[in-house]
Amino acid sequence: MLFGSLFVFTMVALMGLSMVGDAWKSRPIGAVFPRLHAAAALFGSALVIGAALDGDTRLYNNIGMAVVVILLGVYMGFRAHKGKPIPKAILIAHAGLAVACYLLLGYYALNK
């Protein structure tokens, strides 16, 4: 399950990188792409939660970080939906914490 979630989050990261370039330059982002990014992230999170429920307690750190990443993402989504610019500090916090979460997940997946 961990490798599946790592694969899903790799796709999420690639989608995020393409969106961050547009958001950083204050360009509009299409409506479908962020929703796909969010749906894939939720699916990957469900896989991580499933692995944690199967007894891998190391993943609790990832789940905690993911909650913050998701909340920041929802905040950015609401701002973008209202036509307001996304604060760059929020964007950096979302991306930075997501990268840390991804790296930790990769470490756990590769070191069972």
Per-residue pLDDT of the chain (112 residues; tens, 9 = 90+): 899 999 999 999 999 988 878 877 878 777 888 999 999 999 999 999 999 999 999 999 999 999 999 999 999 989 988 988 888 899 899 999 999 999 999 999 999 7
Task: State the residue range of the domain holding 98.
Answer: 2-110
Q: What is the pLDDT of residue 74?
A: 94
Residue in this structure with the two tokens 């070191």, named with its chain if needed: 111
Q: Is 29 helix (H, G, I), strand (E, B) or coil?
A: coil
Q: What is the pLDDT of residue 103?
A: 97
Total structural domains in the chain? 1
Token code pair at residue 93: 């916090």
Q: What is the pLDDT of residue 89?
A: 94
Q: What is the pLDDT of residue 18?
A: 87
Q: What is the pLDDT of residue 14?
A: 94
Global pTM value: 0.87
Residue 96: CA atoms inside 13 Å, Cβ hemisphere, count? 6
Token code pair at residue 83: 């036509």
Q: What is the pLDDT of residue 6?
A: 96
